[in-house]
């Protein structure tokens, strides 16, 4: 096909400028050529392509299929050359790239996008849209290309999406989502909401817009609404909305007003200070003064001095009682604490008792006879703590002495004596009243502490490891007796092993040797579990089930699968000299080597992790010893 002939076939198109040959296409004798026109008419181009096909068929070779052209715009108008981004895109929002032809390309048969990612393509007869559900300014930037495949003409648009095309979304900053406010009528609560510039925010409650003050510093825009508390009859809960202006971004702020009487305050103390707080109080007691819990108990004694009237408040963690008595007082504070004050000679005397059933979570166990920096105390707080206050002076095993250890406080037995311990009932006699309790030696409960599920499972693992190794060695001896070895029987010429008996011995050797390794894996996992997940608890039955499933279940599965795969082809065991897994034909030996080596690697990793944990704890304990703040409690 010559250049004049190309000019003849395509020269009839409207706006025709010329034809230029660009080269040969790979795998074809035809040359590639470019037709330049001032406008594109799909109908004229289709007719020119048909005439071109006829000319080639009559002079060179038949043309199979249709002839199509690829349209490449030379316009400087970006909308004609580039893919269009639909709207302003913010990170995390949907990004839509629109591929829309600026000319009539005829019926679109298919679409091709060349960018990989989280795409979803939608098609129509005139354009294609690439939708990325959650645009990311790192993952989704780069060159995009869209090619619309028409019957006559192909249309292509490109665009390089850059980081500036995907903007940072509004970042609404509210210090807290929930605010609890002690209700004081007329008190104002500032509600502050900020967003980065150039965005702006506004406050509303329901459909009501709120008038809030504005502060700007060039990088952020803030609005502060002064909410005034109304009458404090009952607790209220209100929801405020901070919304970005002109955008669908908002955050909610919940404000709850609390009207707390004596019962509410005491209940708050119980729920937030005393219950389930051992770890928090351990950290507080490790401060430089080491007297955080002592300060708490001192505050409670001061509180008891300020109480007037008579009342009783009781929860699962505290019994707060104030009453009056004449001469003597007796009260059963709970099933294990009885208070008896005999023959005082007082009349109409007020007495306040506060029984803390969970204060053992708060108070340390140091006593006047112990080293305050002792890192291995032998005492534990084993009873409720009772605070007793009367408006008279009474001179009649331990109390909290606030003056010990440079006002850090400690349990002191001065003025108190042990009377008896009958049927788990401890009787103490003291010549003063304050906060007191019972310190119990932990040596007697050490055996009970060690008899736990971890120790039980460790012994089970050791026994089963030894038992599996014993049975495996017995099977090994039986297999050695079945097979003939050249070193032991040099006069024999045939050293083939009996298949049936040797296969049986090999199966049990394979199974029990694997069991040895898997029980060692159980021991390693147990060590990892108790070292890393210190506060997790698993029952003995669950541990046994997991242990036997790993120790015997996994080896059984591997041994049975090995037989099923290799035995039909007579490749389960070696042919001669020894009863063991085949290597030459089926590589059955890998069914033992791979699990064994894997378990060895896993156990090595576990040892490294455990050593790392122990070293970290050792460094932490050493640091605490230097400060004299190391405490162990049972």
The winner for highest mean pLDDT among 7-21, 51-65, 273-287 is 7-21
pLDDT confidence of residue 620:
52
Q: What is the mean pLDDT of residues 604-610?
A: 91
Q: What is the mean pLDDT of residues 482-503?
A: 72
Give yes or no for residue 533 having a pLDDT over 80. Answer: no
CA distances from 472 to 469, 499, 505, 514, 581 (A): 5, 19, 9, 9, 14
The winner for highest mean pLDDT among 19-23, 269-273, 338-342, 542-546 is 542-546
Instruction: Say which range, 86-90, 257-261, 274-278, has the weakest mean pLDDT.
Output: 274-278
pLDDT confidence of residue 366:
67
CB burial of 204-236 (b: ≥16 within 10 Å; e: otherwise) equals: ebeeeebebeeeeeeeebbbebebebeebeeeb
Same fold, 78-167 and 263-447: no
Instruction: Say which range, 117-126, 340-349, 391-400, has the weakest mean pLDDT.
Output: 117-126
Nearest Cα to Cα of residue 105 among 67, 144, 70, 64: 70
The pTM of the full predicted model, rounded to 2 decimals, is 0.36
- Of the candidate CATH numbers 2.60.40.10, 3.40.50.300, 1.10.10.60, 3.40.80.10, the domain formed by 178-258 belongs to 2.60.40.10
Q: Tokens 């042919």 appear where?
A: 575
pLDDT, greater one: 558 or 534: 558
CATH architecture for the domain at 452-625:
Up-down Bundle (1.20)
pLDDT confidence of residue 524:
92
474-477-483-485 Cα dihedral, nearest 10 degrees: 160
pLDDT confidence of residue 267:
54
Average pLDDT, the chain: 76
- The tens digit of pLDDT for each residue in 157-205 reads 888 888 888 888 888 888 778 887 777 777 888 899 999 988 999 999 8
pLDDT band of residue 510 (cuts 50, 70, 90) is very high
Sketch the domain layout of the chain as residue ranges.
3-67, 78-167, 178-258, 263-447, 452-625
What is the CATH T-level fold of the domain 78-167, as seen in this structure?
Answer: Immunoglobulin-like (2.60.40)
The winner for highest mean pLDDT among 328-332, 404-408, 583-587 is 583-587
Instruction: Say which range, 8-22, 499-513, 552-566, has the weakest mean pLDDT.
Output: 8-22
pLDDT confidence of residue 139:
83
Cβ-contact 394, 341 below 8 angstroms: yes
pLDDT confidence of residue 275:
54
Give yes or no for residue 293 having a pLDDT over 80. Answer: no
- Of the candidate CATH numbers 1.10.10, 2.60.220, 1.25.40, 2.40.50, the domain formed by 263-447 belongs to 2.60.220
Give yes or no for residue 603 having a pLDDT over 90. Answer: yes
- Calpha distance 470→513 (Å, rounded): 9
Give yes or no for residue 248 having a pLDDT over 70. Answer: yes
Give yes or no for residue 552 having a pLDDT over 90. Answer: yes
Share of the chain above pLDDT 90, in %: 15
Cβ-contact 413, 397 below 8 angstroms: yes
Q: What is the mean pLDDT of residues 368-390?
A: 62
CB burial of 97-130 (b: ≥16 within 10 Å; e: otherwise) equals: bbbbbeeebbebeebebebeeeeeeeeeeebbbb
């Amino acid at each position: 096909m010559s250049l004049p002939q190309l000019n003849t076939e395509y020269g009839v198109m409207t706006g025709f400028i010329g034809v230029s040959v660009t080269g040969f296409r790979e795998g074809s004798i035809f040359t590639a050529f470019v037709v330049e026109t001032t406008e594109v008419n799909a109908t004229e181009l289709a007719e020119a392509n048909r005439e071109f096909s006829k000319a080639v068929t009559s002079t060179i070779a038949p043309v199979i299929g249709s002839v199509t052209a690829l349209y490449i715009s030379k316009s400087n108008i970006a909308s004609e050359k580039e893919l269009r981004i639909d709207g302003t895109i913010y990170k995390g929002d949907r990004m839509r790239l629109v591929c829309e032809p600026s000319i009539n390309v005829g019926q679109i048969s298919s679409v091709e996008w060349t960018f990989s990612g989280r795409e979803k393509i939608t098609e129509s007869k005139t354009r294609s849209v690439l939708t990325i559900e959650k645009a990311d300014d790192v993952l989704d930037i780069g060159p995009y290309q869209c090619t619309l495949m028409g019957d006559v003409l192909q249309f292509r648009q490109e665009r390089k999406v850059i980081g500036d095309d995907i903007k940072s979304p509004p970042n609404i900053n509210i210090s807290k989502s929930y605010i609890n406010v002690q209700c004081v009528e007329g008190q104002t609560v500032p509600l502050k909401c900020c967003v980065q510039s150039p965005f702006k925010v506004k406050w509303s409650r329901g459909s009501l817009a709120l008038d809030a003050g504005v502060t700007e510093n060039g990088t952020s825009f803030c609005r502060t609404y002064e909410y005034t508390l109304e009458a404090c009859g009952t607790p209220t809960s209100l929801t405020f909305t901070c919304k970005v202006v002109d955008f669908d971004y908002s955050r909610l702020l919940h404000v709850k007003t609390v009207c707390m009487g004596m019962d509410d305050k005491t209940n708050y103390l119980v729920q937030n200070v005393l219950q389930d707080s051992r770890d928090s109080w351990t950290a507080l007691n490790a401060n430089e003064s080491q007297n955080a819990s002592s300060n708490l108990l001192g505050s409670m004694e001061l509180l008891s001095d300020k109480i007037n009237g008579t009342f009783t408040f009781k929860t699962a963690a505290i019994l707060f009682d104030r009453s009056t008595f004449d001469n003597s007082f007796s009260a059963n504070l709970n099933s294990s604490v009885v208070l008896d004050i005999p023959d005082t000679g007082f009349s109409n005397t007020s007495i306040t008792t506060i029984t803390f059933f969970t204060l053992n979570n708060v108070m340390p166990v140091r006593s006047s006879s112990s080293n305050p920096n002792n890192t291995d105390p032998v005492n534990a707080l084993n009873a409720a703590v009772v605070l007793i206050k009367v408006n008279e002076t009474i001179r009649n095993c331990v109390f909290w002495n606030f003056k010990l250890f440079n006002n850090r406080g400690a349990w002191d037995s001065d003025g108190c004596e042990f009377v008896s311990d009958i049927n788990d009932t401890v009787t103490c006699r003291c010549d003063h009243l304050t906060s007191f309790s019972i310190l119990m030696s932990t040596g007697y409960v050490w055996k009970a502490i060690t008899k736990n599920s971890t120790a039980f499972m460790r012994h089970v693992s050791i026994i089963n490891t030894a038992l599996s190794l014993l049975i495996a060695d017995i099977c090994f001896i039986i297999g050695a007796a079945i097979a003939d070895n050249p070193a032991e029987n040099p006069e024999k010429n045939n050293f083939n092993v009996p298949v049936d008996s040797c296969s049986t011995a090999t199966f049990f050797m394979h199974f029990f040797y694997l069991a040895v390794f898997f029980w060692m894996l159980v021991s390693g996992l147990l060590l990892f579990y108790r070292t890393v997940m210190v506060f997790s608890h698993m029952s003995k039955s669950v541990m046994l089930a997991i242990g036997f499933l790993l120790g015997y279940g996994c080896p059984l599965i591997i041994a049975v699968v090995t037989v099923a795969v290799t035995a039909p082809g007579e490749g389960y065991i070696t042919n001669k000299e020894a009863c063991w897994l085949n290597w030459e034909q089926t590589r059955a030996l890998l069914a033992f080597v791979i699990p064994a080596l894997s378990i060895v690697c896993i156990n090595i990793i576990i040892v490294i992790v455990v050593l790392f944990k122990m070293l970290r704890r050792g460094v932490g304990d050493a640091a605490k010893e230097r400060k004299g703040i190391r405490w162990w409690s049972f």
